[in-house]
Structure 1
Amino acid sequence: MTDHRASFDAAITFGNGGDLVVHGFRVDLPGPDTAESEIAALFVASLGLLMTDTVRLTDLRIFAEPHKGTRGGPSDRRQALEAPERGALVELGRLPHEGGTHLEAPGGDLAAVPLGGAVDVPAVVVRVTGAGRRTIDVGSLAAFDVRGHAVLLHTGLRAGHRLTPEAAAWSLEHGAALVATDADRLEDDARDVLLGGGAPVVEGLTGLEGLPPTGILFTAAPPRLQGVGRAPVRAYARVPKIVESRTK
């Protein structure tokens, strides 16, 4: 099923005074026939706005585009993590001739990576595939609840997008369990921040375009090798049935 999103300008007034104007805002839609009133509600929910009085949309366009994980939108599946059912498995690891998929451990010791930090970890997919800028900064991550989650960076490229050290530090401060990317490698400065803060790094993923932005479980368990800091892993995601059924 093809995902759809909306782009629009919006003007909001608030019941306790003040207003807000935005241009070119985008939200995920449940379908191509979503009513304008529902799009306005999704916009308000995505920003967590309170005491809104009127919402006026202009220059509204609906188009096919993968969901990005709008808060309160069709791909926001946080409740699915409360009691996930076993569901479909999605291969995320590259074959060796494609460069493989690797995990690097904090402290240079794969044996110290706990199973709970590498198996069935709740995950969010941060898509920057359509972004004009190639810098993945705090603004790319801030809409997601990353505490206890694997942060999967979907760049659509094996090189070219750069995770900033500030974004890496923000991920740690907000409790991310690990950070992974479909690029061959993260920038050294961002990797150093993550590993220094105790978060494993997974590089060389594939197949992220087939995942919903939230509600999935990520696995990339490394071999239990003492004194070895980096090794190939077979990475995959589990899409619980409650999420799978809502994305069909």
Structure 2
Amino acid sequence: MLQYRAELDAEITLSNGGSVTARALLVEVPHADVTHPEVARLAVAALGLAGAKVDLTSVRVFGETVAAGGGRTPQRIEYVELSHVIESGMTTYAGLPGPVISAYRTWAESRPGYAEGTEFSFDRIEMIGQTGTYLDSPRHRYQDGTDLAGLPLGRLADLPAVVVRTVDNDGRAVDAGDLEPYVVAGHAVLLHTGGDRHWGTDAYGTDAPFLTEAGARLLVERGAALVGIDSANIDDAVPGGPRPAHSVLLAVGIPIVEHLTNLGELPPLGARFTAAPPRIVGFGTFPVRAFATMPWFEPHDHTRSAGWLPTAVQQS
């Protein structure tokens, strides 16, 4: 059977006054003769941006053969790395110690314990939980909060992702108004601020982007499953100041992932997010291998056919 999709470029004006530039956005359409107004309405529904106005600049409708039963089979899954590399002596957050990586037992030292020609390395790392890209459980903030071992996998793995872009915002704060257009219930909400471009420099922790208390409360009210940010801290890390985003999110069991990177490679919707730490009892924070997956469909004549391309969001 044949199924149709529209590939479009568009300028999308959000209901709160912001705007989105979409490039090579793919939208399911009912038939080959779909009109431009119909495509615009379907794009708004697919993005979850109720009340948005879509100005189409390019539309191409094409058909694909799908299996009986209606499901398209992706040719492969695209993986997007969202974690920073951990290496000995690195600085994640100014003032906190870097990891120390060493050998507990080298290959040569292991040889006497095995048959000839067999050897292994036993590596050791000494580090605090706040190293690299890491996840905060409620225990990080609250003494009686759930620790890493108590977090359900449903809060950590294969979550539908919503990417909120504030890269071009004038200020540092991600506020409730930035989050208002998005449907976040059950999703990993990933704040793409561009703060990761300063990773490894003194500028990384200086005047870094952050989530406001009002923004955190909106995400709680709307049922976000996890919140991540590509910045040094999800709070405005003023020395001695409050940490409202941590407090509000962790109080209701919403895990936080800090120091993400590469969020510009993700679509606003359509990716799946995973960031699972080890099951450690009595521990509140630990590094994760954060990544996203996206289905890659073929045939398609674009260089990227996962269904989305990165978009720029501009708040006016």
State the TM-score, normalized to the length of structure 2. 0.55
Give the number of the structure whose alpha-carbon radius of gyration is greater.
2
Matched, 1:229 2:253: no
Letter in 1 for 2:79: L
For structure 2, the 5+ residue unaligned runs are 1-7, 25-34, 58-70, 93-131, 139-144, 196-203, 236-242, 298-303, 310-316
For structure 1, the 5+ residue unaligned runs are 9-19, 32-36, 63-81
CA distance in 2, matches of 1:163, 1:83: 38
Structure number with the higher helix fraction is 1
Choose which of 152, 162, 167 in structure 2 pairs with 1:129: 167
Matched position secondary structure for 1:246: coil
Matched position secondary structure for 1:129: coil
Letter in 1 for 2:177: G
Alignment of 1:82-161 (within 5 A): 87-96=77-86, 97=90, 99=92, 100-106=132-138, 107=145, 109-157=147-195, 158-159=204-205, 160-161=208-209
Deviation at 1:134, TM superposition (A): 1.9
CA distance in 1, matches of 2:306, 2:160: 18
Counterpart position of 2:307: 246
Matched, 1:182 2:230: yes
Q: Percent identity?
A: 40
CA distance in 1, matches of 2:284, 2:72: 34
CA contact (8 A) 1:91 1:236 kept: yes
Deviation at 1:4, TM superposition (A): 6.0
TM-aligned CA distance change 1:39 to 1:163, over 3 Å? farther
CA distance in 1, matches of 2:217, 2:73: 29
Matched, 1:26 2:19: yes
Choose which of 184, 187, 211 in structure 1 pairs with 2:266: 211
Deviation at 1:246, TM superposition (A): 2.5
CA distance in 1, matches of 2:12, 2:153: 41
Deviation at 1:28, TM superposition (A): 3.0
TM-aligned CA distance change 1:170 to 1:240, over 3 Å? same
What is the aligned length? 202
Counterpart position of 1:71: none
CA distance in 2, matches of 1:204, 1:144: 22
Tell me the alpha carbon deviations over residues 52-83 of structure 1, each in whole angstroms, 9 at most, x when there is no partner: 9xx9x8xx9x8xxxxxxxxxxxxxxxxxxx99
Deviation at 1:132, TM superposition (A): 1.4
Tell me the alpha carbon deviations over residues 141-168 of structure 1, each in whole angstroms, 9 at most, x when there is no partner: 1111100000000110145222111110
> What value does the CA root-mean-square deviation take over the aligned residues?
3.6
Choose which of 185, 188, 193 in structure 1 pairs with 2:248: 193
Deviation at 1:247, TM superposition (A): 3.0
TM-aligned CA distance change 1:98 to 1:87, over 3 Å? farther
CA contact (8 A) 1:108 1:230 kept: no
TM-aligned CA distance change 1:230 to 1:30, over 3 Å? closer
CA distance in 2, matches of 1:25, 1:145: 16
CA contact (8 A) 1:29 1:39 kept: no
Counterpart position of 1:6: 11
Tell me the alpha carbon deviations over residues 121-145 of structure 1, each in whole angstroms, 9 at most, x when there is no partner: 1111101000112221111111111
CA contact (8 A) 2:12 2:21 kept: no
